[in-house]
Amino acid sequence: MKNLVFLLLSFVLSTSAMGFSANEKKETHVLILAGGKGKRMESSIPKVLHELNGIPLIDHVINLARKIESNSVSIVTSPDLKNDLSGKGINLIIQDKPLGTGHAVLSARSWFEDKKGDLFCLVILHILSLIH
């Protein structure tokens, strides 16, 4: 396997323009996108299960979601990773056909469409190979 650098990408989908007052504490929800196989990593281990400092990348992301004291956390993943991620104590949303990041968010739509506040989408990206 190559030595790799990862970037945790976060983007926020806010519903704050939908009638919240400035004094009202908004809810925070986290959607972790963890369905990628990591083909570009040239490894048989899925990207989110690779370790950084002895801890799987997905656990770093889950720990981040817990630290921000979100109201709810879900992971969108592929059927292949269901068993690996089921013991994490997080709601799993299975993306039957992995068709990319946008489709992963759409796969979770029924989970977040009734939520109020901010939705943080956390994604682990493989951005650079250091050694070829």
* 61 or 127, which is more confident: 61
CA dihedral 42, 46, 48, 52 (to 10 degrees): -50
pLDDT tens digits, 22-60: 556 678 889 998 877 667 667 788 888 888 888 888 888
Q: Which distant-in-sequence residues (6+ apart) come within 8 Å of 56 by Cβ? A: 48, 49, 50
Handedness of CA 73, 70, 88, 43 (dihedral sign): positive
CATH number at residue 12: 3.90.550.10
Number of domains, the chain: 1
How confident is the model over 76-88, as a mean pLDDT?
88
Residue 4 scores a pLDDT above 60: no
Structural domain of residue 110, as residue ranges?
4-18+25-129
Question: Is the pTM value of this prediction over 0.85?
Answer: no
**40 carries an active-site annotation:** yes
Active-site residue identified among 2, 26, 39, 40: 40
